[in-house]
Every structure is written in structure tokens, then in C-alpha cells.
Amino acid sequence: MADALVLGIETSCDETGVALVRVGDEGSELLTDVVASSMDEHARFGGIIPEIASRAHLEAMVPTLGTALERADVDLGQVDAIAVTAGPGLVGPLTVGAAAAKALAVGLGVPLYGVNHVIGHAAVDELVHGRFPDRVMALVVSGGHSSLLLVDDVATDVTELGHTLDDAAGEAFDKVGRLLGLPYPGGPHIDRLAREGDPTAIRFPRGLTAAKDQARHADDFSFSGLKTAVARWVEARQDAGEEIPLNDVAASFAAAVADVLTAKTIAACHRHGVDTLVIGGGFSANSQLRELAAERCAEAGITLRIPPIRYCTDNGAMIAALGAAVLRAGVAPSSLDLPVDSSMPLTQVTV
């Protein structure tokens, strides 16, 4: 369905994202992507408050939609299909987005597609680097997800190889940031400090990399033990009255996370005969991860695709991009009573 105009709506957490994408046979074109964030309202609580996020989505939905249409210079009546995040995510925010999408679909008389938020983080790369080859590996890393996906068709055939067994990478960064007295969210602040530190100063553990873990958890991740190790290291120095070298702690911690993510992902690419790796999600903005992934992919002969940082955090473009792929593949639309699913399985692209 080339040349169709897809409206994407994302409300899984604290960003209200609305985007418009034109479907193309070789690759879809992003016309506009507008995001309204409620992050500042959550910062004083040190984490996302679902009720606050839901109210913020209610307030931002219509203005954000209006801005997107204005910037794309299109009328609402020109929209041919609507894609909305159906999960995973927070139930309240998801419900706001789904309700808005259903109302628009009914009012415009166009098909509605409830799509998977996590897979959207991979699909958004098609807006930047073109359509995926026949098989790619996708590493999606964010505050809530650290998932390894084998993608044979981003619209219809996604296999979850592994996931985090406890803390996701971004979640671990936020918790370590709090431990180090950094503002919320901790990820950008740790990344900044790490650039000035020595990543070899402290040898923090690499979760699920020991030989005994490979049989059962070759493609899984665990960062809870790493977070605890950082806490114990810092507490021991504080008890001894020593100054904490924040730059070195941040660099060593970030190096451990990037090491595990890239080593396990490259190994999975080899096992499954994949020569293209896509990395997406909010944590893919991390500079250590980007640098180490580029280095190891080059050594392994794997093509690395990471979208620009502005597409890494939650946004409407990723949902519109996945909607465009689903529409192009001829997938049946969702029903108007589509439910939202906070734990939507990663093998389910659409509802």
C-alpha cells in the first residue's frame, strides 16, 4: 500500500508521541515527529508516576496531534491508517493513546493497528537506513527492556531470543545514578561522567557470562548483580572515609553493561548466521554502547544500524514506522475493541 499516510501514536510511558509516515516500497518517509514529555513532572519523585503520566497524555494529545499535522502540512482527513502502541507499557498511559486512536479511526473511517512498542524501537531504523534485509538481529535496550530479537520480518515474524531476567540496562543506570547522588534520569549523567573516567579502573562483574550460565541463558541479560556490586564498592569507600571517584565508577559500570550487551549480541548473531545488527531503545543513546558495538561489529564483519539519538527514546515515529511496515505487509487491522497489554509478548507484532 505504497503512498499511504500512517499516523502513529505512542503513549507507553511519559512521552506523548505523534508522527506521520508516508509508506514506500523501498522505505517509508517520515513527514513529522512531535513529542511532548512529562519527564520534568516525574523527576522530583525519582521515577515515573503512572497517574501523572496518564494526565499528561490527556492534556498533550490534541495539541501534539495538531502540531504534527501542521508541521507535515497535511489535513487529518488525508490519513489512511492509524497505528498506536498497544503494549508493553504502563496501563494508564497506554489506555489514553488507544482511546485517542480508536476515536480517530472511527471518525476518519480508517483501519487501526495496535502495535508492539518494543518492536517499534527496531522498526524506526527503517526510516533512517531503509528496509531491513531478510534477517536481522535487534537489540532493544531501554529503561524497561533489554531484549534480543531475531527479526525475519519486522511486520510478521519476530522471535524473542532473550531478555533481562531482572533490571533492564536503563533501569540499572537510573538506580546507580541514584546511588551516586545524580539527578533522575541517571543514564545521561552517568554517560557524561563516564567519558571523563577510566573504564578499567574497577572490574565490576559481567552478569550471565560465566560458562555455567551459557547453556540456559546465552541470550539473556542480568544487571541486578552489577548494580549491587557498584553499591557495595561505593559503600566500602564511604565507610572508610574515602572520596568516591565518580568518573571512574561511572566509566567502569558503563563499560560492564556495554561489554555484556555487545558480547552476547555478537555471539547470537554468529549462532544464527545474521550479518546485520539493529540497536534501538532509549539506552542505545549511550556513548559507550555505541562505540563498543561499532568496534565489535567491525571486527566480526557485521553491519551495524543504530538510528540517530532523537529516534532512540519513545516517539511516534517508531510506531508510525512499524504501522507502515504492517500496512505494507498486508496484515489485517486490529478491531476497535483492541485491548492494551502492559506485558505484550515480543513475538506479537500487532493485536
Answer yes or no: same fold for 5-124+315-328 and 136-310.
yes
CB 186 within 8 A of CB 175: yes
Which residues share a beta bridge with 146? 141
pLDDT of residue 81: 98
Give domain limits for the chain.
5-124+315-328, 136-310
Give Cα 160 distance to the centre of its chain.
Answer: 15
**H-helix or E-strand spanning residue 286:** none
CATH topology of domain 5-124+315-328: Nucleotidyltransferase; domain 5 (3.30.420)
User: Which parts of the chain fold into alpha helices (H)?
Assistant: 39-43, 50-72, 91-108, 117-123, 126-129, 169-179, 186-194, 211-217, 224-239, 246-271, 287-300, 316-328
Candidates 35, 30, 21, 32; CA nearest to 128 is 30
| Terminal C-alpha separation, the chain | 20
pLDDT of residue 38: 75
User: CA 201 to CA 237: how far, in whole Å?
Assistant: 14
User: CA 150 to CA 140: how far, in whole Å?
Assistant: 11
Q: What type of residue sits at position 250?
A: A
Per residue of the chain (351 residues), what is the pLDDT tens digit?
A: 679 999 999 999 999 999 999 998 778 999 999 999 876 776 777 777 888 999 999 999 999 999 999 999 999 999 999 999 999 999 999 999 999 999 999 999 999 999 999 999 999 999 999 999 999 999 999 878 899 999 999 999 999 999 999 999 999 999 999 999 999 888 999 999 999 999 999 999 999 999 888 889 999 999 999 999 999 999 999 999 999 999 999 999 999 999 999 999 999 999 999 999 999 999 999 999 999 999 999 999 999 999 999 999 999 999 999 999 999 999 999 999 999 999 999 999 999
Q: Which CATH superfamily is domain 136-310 in?
A: ATPase, nucleotide binding domain (3.30.420.40)
The sheet carrying 15-22 orders its strands as: 29-37, 15-22, 5-10, 81-87, 112-116
User: CA 128 to CA 198: how far, in whole Å?
Assistant: 33
**H-helix or E-strand spanning residue 348:** none
Cβ neighbours around 112 below 10 Å, total: 23
User: CA 20 to CA 45: how far, in whole Å?
Assistant: 33
Give Cα 30 distance to the centre of its chain.
Answer: 18
Which residues make Cβ contacts (< 8 Å) with residue 21, sequence separation at least 6?
5, 6, 8, 28, 29, 30, 31, 127, 317, 320, 321, 323, 324
